[in-house]
Amino acid sequence: MKFEPTTIPDVVLIHPDVFGDERGFFMETYRAQKFGAAGLPLIFVQDNHSGSQRGALRGLHYQVKQAQGKVVRAVVGEIYDVAVDIRRWSPTFGRWVGYTLSAQNKAQLWVPPGFAHGFYVLSDWAEVIYKATDYYAPQYERSLLWNDPALGIPWPIPPGQAPTLSSKDAQGLPLAQAEVYDEEIR
């Protein structure tokens, strides 16, 4: 496994070693020893799996309590995956990174606690699996506005098209009004 820091050092792009032959491929997507050596969490408490059609935008989600760190990967199709730093005390507060994750490139993204996370589906269908460091707690879930001009995320949405959003995501708050992390997350 290769762990590649991004322009926000706490967010890490993970490239598993992939071994292939005429039968297909094999790869490890998680190994505690390697994650620990890279400074990433060793314990995950929940695995999630979603399926979405082309043009769906999920996010930007976070939990104000029970903040979740996530290792995200696309196992079918292709997504544009985004992490936004919403830790007010962080030098990268309000900055974001985005990467294409796909079944083909097999890359994974570590999104630490304290970040809003979302993705846009580029393929006809995509399935996303992610490991979480804390449990889903709907009472603490919030949505950051996906198209907040203050963030300036250039989502790869074709001109003249609108993403498919849940009503919750359509009502996300801009960063200036959102509940964010004012203290370090433990």
Q: Provide φ and ψ at 63, rounded to 5°.
A: -120, 130
Q: Provide φ and ψ at 64, rounded to 5°.
A: -75, -25
Question: Residue 60: which of 177, 183, 157, 170 has the closest Cα?
Answer: 170
Residue 181 bears catalytic tag: no
10 burial (CB, 10 Å; 0-12 / 13-18 / 19+) is: buried
Question: Residue 84: which of 108, 68, 105, 60 has the closest Cα?
Answer: 60
Whole-angstrom CA distances from 180 to 67, 136, 172 are 11, 17, 13
The answer to whether 58 and 141 are in contact (CB under 8 A) is: no
> Which of 62, 99, 130, 181 does the annotation list as catalytic?
130
Q: Widest CA span of the chain, in angstroms?
A: 53
What DSSP element (H or E) covers 168? helix 167-170
> Which of 30, 61, 80, 99 does the annotation list as catalytic?
61
Task: Enter the tokens of residue 138.
Answer: 């709907």
Catalytic residues: 61, 130
